[in-house]
Amino acid sequence: MSEQDERERELTETVVASFAGTPDARLRTLMTALTRHLHAFAREVRLTEDEWAAAIRFLTDAGHITDDKRQEFILLSDVLGVSMQTITINHAVEGDVTESTVLGPFFVAGSPEVEQGGDLAFGASGEPCWVEGSVRDVEGTPIPGALVEVWEADEDGFYDVQYADSRTAARGHLVTDADGRFRFWALTPTPYPIPADGPVGRLLAATGRSPMRAPHLHFMVRAPGFRTLITHIFVEGDSLGGDSVFGVRDSLVKPFLRSDGPTPDGRVVDGSWTQVRFDIVLAGAGDG
Amino acid sequence: MSEQDERERELTETVVASFAGTPDARLRTLMTALTRHLHAFAREVRLTEDEWAAAIRFLTDAGHITDDKRQEFILLSDVLGVSMQTITINHAVEGDVTESTVLGPFFVAGSPEVEQGGDLAFGASGEPCWVEGSVRDVEGTPIPGALVEVWEADEDGFYDVQYADSRTAARGHLVTDADGRFRFWALTPTPYPIPADGPVGRLLAATGRSPMRAPHLHFMVRAPGFRTLITHIFVEGDSLGGDSVFGVRDSLVKPFLRSDGPTPDGRVVDGSWTQVRFDIVLAGAGDG
């Protein structure tokens, strides 16, 4: 081992040793592993001082653009696949249990309730989409009273929190009926870029990556005694290859069937509409 | 390999592949290595979703406390030893060349000039310290006209940028004389904590680590044709073991000799004063 190599290794060990007195064993494990990987990264790439300074500026810029409506650190985690890796680690494939994917930065608690068959677009622009499905356990038993939260971008690619005013649109929740079923109107998902006017957008541009997300509809499904499911459904055939946050799972890709005929509930739609089915299986709270 | 292991590895490879089109080869190398290490960290510790969320909150808090006078991301890098590792990587030991250490978050460009023998305390509180030394090249040839920047905390542990008002104190610069020498009054360095009222301070508290820095005096030395030196000198015998940013190098530990007798330049000091010598060797700009 060269003298230089020795100096670098010694420093890493000194830092690791500084965490040896951490009272919480889990925190000690995390800080030790984080230290080792950060140091290994710097040593492996022979990080220059200018590159280090650029990283500090990047994090600073990300911090300054982040507020209660914009979360650049989640975006960063998303585009580095760290969000999806964390989800993968924590949600092993488990029989028919519906797969999870990224939460994304646009979930907002306290969405309006809609009735079965109601419309959660709340005036957001886009092609109407009839969504129906069921929530069941791994035995196939329907789960009545499950809370189904849904949110999505409008046809211009914006979530309501990105609007200049503060109105709520294209988000809502409903409760499964006695047969564990749900049905509602939403909007056909369209491709949209993640917010690209900040440091994460500049990183994507510099690395020749697209900021576009595969079109999707967000779901969060909760029921007492079951693991909360955070997922999307994706539009079959619609630019799935390039999802900028690596969120696509084959099992979550669904056909959205387009029609300009009569709608399932007799709603009169001016132009085309789509329909999609999403049957959800929740894992028990104690599983996985 | 388990199915789970396979899914996790595949995801990492997908993210790495997304950077394959990065036009700049160096950026491609950096992003590939960063992705691999971040994913390896998450997989190794089996990062939970709550821990991931805590990390996002930590970075958000660090971003929000950072402004033009407070740099929490540099502090974070410092306490994880990443700053010192970057310096170690970029400044191999090279004969008698003076070793580098961390810049820290308190350097400010545009400090006042002091004459040879002047006092850069500018009213900051503390025990006077007479500092003298020389700047030479690796052949031992004096470097006249080298710019010597010095900054430090006052005896209460605060840098001027941490004062409520915006006065300048305990920082200044001077130019080496025809023999490459410098001499000035400063303050005897005292131990002080890094700013501990933010997320980095909370991390240190949670891990049982002290925020204290070993007492030191900052130097930045520049001369045309030479590599800029960023370093400190440390006070021999004074709590060197626990430097919270891992900045101590044996070669930078100097005796600060205390006296209450006459001073080198006849200045009348009420009480004790110290003196220290620091002979600096700069590497050529093309070296190392």
Average of per-residue pLDDT across A70-79: 95
> Contact at 8 Å (CB) between B170 and B129?
no
* Residues in chain B closer than 8 A to A62 (CB atoms): 59, 63
Q: Determine the residue of chain B that is closest to A14 in CA distance.
A: B246
- Of the listed ranges A84-98, A274-288, B243-257, the least confidently predicted one is A274-288
Integer angstrom CA distances of residue A71 from A76, A78, A83, A206, B15: 9, 11, 13, 20, 21
Is B192 annotated as catalytic?
yes
**ipTM of the complex in this document:** 0.92
Q: Please state, in angstroms and rounded to a whole number, the distance separating the CA atoms of residues A72 and A201.
A: 10
Q: What is the pLDDT of residue A47?
A: 98
Q: Please state, in angstroms and rounded to a whole number, the distance separating the CA atoms of residues B193 and B79.
A: 12
Interface residue B107 vs chain A (CB under 8 A): no
* Backbone dihedral region for residue B145 (phi beyond 0: left; psi -120 to 50: alpha; all else: beta): left
Chain A, residues 185-244, CB within 8 A of chain B, namely 206-209
- Of the listed ranges A15-29, A89-103, B126-140, the least confidently predicted one is A89-103
Q: What is the pLDDT of residue B287?
A: 57
Q: Token pair of B23, please?
A: 């036009």
- Asked if residue B187 has pLDDT above 70, the reply is yes
> Contact at 8 Å (CB) between B189 and B216?
yes
Q: What is the pLDDT of residue A240?
A: 63
> Contact at 8 Å (CB) between B15 and A80?
yes
- Asked if residue B241 has pLDDT above 80, the reply is no
The residue with tokens 């350097």 is: B107
Q: What is the pLDDT of residue B104?
A: 87
Interface residue A40 vs chain B (CB under 8 A): yes
Interface residue A64 vs chain B (CB under 8 A): yes
DSSP of A12-37, one letter per residue? HHHHHHHTTT-SSHHHHHHHHHHHHH
pLDDT tier at B69 (50, 70, 90 boundaries)?
confident
